A = this chain, B = another copy of it.
Amino acid sequence: MSDIRSLIESRVSTGRYDSARPLSDDQVAELVQLATRAPSAYNMQNWKFIAVRSADAKQRLQAVSYGQSQVVDAPVTFIICGTLAAYEGMSKVLQPSVEAGFMDRSIAAGWVEAVTGSHRDNPQLQRDEAFRSASLAAMTLMLAAQGMGLASGAMSGFDAAALAQEFGLADNEVPVMLVTAGYPKPGNWPQKPRRPLEDVMEVA
């Protein structure tokens, strides 16, 4: 097994960052680029990433995140959004797979029909799908960060309505998670103990 195991085991939900160590534009873009390699239902890619880096934007994010200081101290916090009604963009999203020659046009059309039928009149399913896709991307981003020698921290403590207004999200964009990233400073907790495997696993 590759060292993915050590990345998974050494990742720590980080709240204390070395604010004196910035990230480059390339590092930030690379994190998002890798996050978009996560899977999504029907390859919908129903997500959006806002990299909060400026002092002004950090202050505005802190104000809608119950004052949590890590969004100011970390060099970047990603607002990871899921998009609702993503079925509307499916044809466009699948086009490159058709053009690359491995997905028949008829299969792509079938997918568009299937997802439109199941999602169009089902707002809860759209929301579930937004949470699934954005969370898969968030986890990929955090493990990519770990592999780049960075620390990260997932946060779900924010006022979603206030955040949407402050950062101009569209009606179909739901903020699912914040992920801070940067170089840690001393004082972070270790990875917290997990429940015993027998408490969370069954075999059928």
Chain A: interface size category = 35 or more
Q: A22 on the interface (CB 8 Å rule)? A: no
User: How many identical subunits does the complex contain?
Assistant: 2
Q: Any chain B CB within 8 A of the CB of A34?
A: yes
Contact of A136 among B2, B34, B45, B135 (CB under 8 A): B135
Q: What residues of chain B lie closer than 8 Å to A161, measured between beta carbons?
A: none
Among B38, B193, B197, contact of A100 (Cβ-Cβ < 8 Å) = B193
Q: A202 is contacted by which of B48, B97, B128, B192 (Cβ under 8 Å)?
A: B48
Please tell me if the beta carbons of A53 and B203 are within 8 angstroms of each other in the complex: yes
Chain B residues closer than 8 Å to A94, beta-carbon distance: 192
Cα distance, A156 to B42, chains bound together (Å): 9
Q: Is the CB of B139 within 8 A of A192?
A: no
A1-39 vs B, Cβ < 8 Å mask (1 yes, 0 no): 111110111010100000000000000110011101111
Chain A 65-102 per-residue mask, 1 if CB under 8 angstroms from chain B, else 0: 00000000000000000000000000001101100101
Contacts of A127 in B (CB 8 A): 128
Contact of A200 among B3, B36, B144, B156 (CB under 8 A): B36
Closest to A102 in B: B189
Residue of B nearest to A33 (CB): B197
List residues of chain B with CB within 8 A of the CB of A136: 135-136, 138-139, 154
Distance (whole angstroms) from the CB of A174 to the closest CB of chain B: 9
Return 29 A-B CB contacts under 8 Å, by A number: A1-B149, A3-B3, A3-B147, A5-B147, A8-B34, A9-B37, A11-B37, A13-B39, A36-B194, A36-B197, A37-B191, A49-B201, A49-B202, A51-B202, A51-B204, A93-B195, A94-B192, A97-B192, A97-B193, A100-B193, A103-B189, A128-B156, A129-B156, A131-B132, A132-B135, A135-B135, A136-B139, A136-B154, A140-B143
